[in-house]
Amino acid sequence: MLYFLLLAMAGGGTSTPSTAVVTEPVANMYSRPTRDADVVSQAIYSTNVSIIEEQKNWLKIRTPDAYTGWIESSAAVRRGAYAASGRVAEVANLFASVYREKDITKHQPVITVPLEAKLEVIAGPVGADDRWLEVRLPDERTAWVQSGDVQFNIQKLSIRDVIEYSRRFLGLPYLWGGTSTFGYDCSGFTQMLCRRRGVLIPRDADQQAAWEGMEKVALDRLEPGDLLYFGSRPDHITHTGMYIGNSEFINATPHLHPVIQICSLGDAHWKELLVAARRLK
């Protein structure tokens, strides 16, 4: 016991693997335990994460896609897995507001969470006219969400359906490190679209292009649903988007207009940078 205590003290923190659940709508993940560091990714509300290191007011976490980074400890609650069994609803609208009672007028929402956030449902709706579900939050509080904001047992989408689905996000802001409807970056957006197809791909664009779950596609053999990768050269990939047909692709980009938008491969900017294409196996 003394050995492990001395080892932890020598490292300036503790190495105590455990689990937690994100309780902020979106928690920034930093490269170092300070807000002055760069944001490397985000973890959204209800995400179950592993704690791999701890320092004062900070937790180094690993998300389900094996990405690591530092979050402020106030952004999560230490506990076992949340919404991993039982009756679980997933936010299907771009956002869902959660209330302290079955009324949207009496008080401000307890919290507003993004698409894909999960909630443990403990009751409701009651009767055909009742639109409310009672939920248990990760911190054990109970609250209410409107049933129209969530779905149960969300099904995988076909390539055709995921392309149509992707258009829902047009105009949402580009955000470096973003993984939610509050703002996506390029690889966060394509990762989310692949989740709708039932596949969890790596977080970053270069990691995705190198992933064994993808197969290479010749640039003159593109099909809708293929992922496109851009960069200064094939071994330096910095951007990605999803091909939707007719020489167009949808992507989250800061180029010209920092939003999710449809761009053309005929555009000189993108034609020069396109270096690879991949197809899910």
**Measured between alpha carbons, how far is residue 278 from residues 12, 201, 224 in Å?**
43, 12, 11
At 113-171, the pLDDT tens digits run: 999 999 999 998 887 778 999 999 999 999 999 999 999 999 999 999 999 999 999 99
Give the pLDDT band (50/70/90) at residue 7: very low
CATH code that applies to domain 12-78: 2.30.30.40
> What is the maximal distance between C-alpha atoms in the chain?
66
Res 16: pLDDT? 54
CATH code that applies to domain 88-151: 2.30.30.40
Res 17: pLDDT? 57
Give the pLDDT band (50/70/90) at residue 198: very high
Assign domain 159-280 one CATH number from 1.10.10.410, 3.90.1720.10, 3.40.190.10, 1.10.10.10. Answer: 3.90.1720.10
CATH 3.90.1720.10 placement within the chain: 159-280
At 14-40, the pLDDT tens digits run: 455 599 999 999 999 999 999 999 999
Three-state helix/strand/coil letters over 114-178: ECCCEEEEEECCCCCCCCEEEEECCCCCEEEEEHHHEECCCCCCCHHHHHHHHHHHCCCEECCCC
120 contacts 82 by C-beta, under 8 angstroms = yes
87 contacts 147 by C-beta, under 8 angstroms = no
**Measured between alpha carbons, how far is residue 203 from residues 1, 43, 190, 200, 242 in Å?**
37, 12, 9, 9, 15
> C-alpha angle 243/245/247, rounded to 5°?
85
CATH 2.30.30.40 placement within the chain: 12-78, 88-151
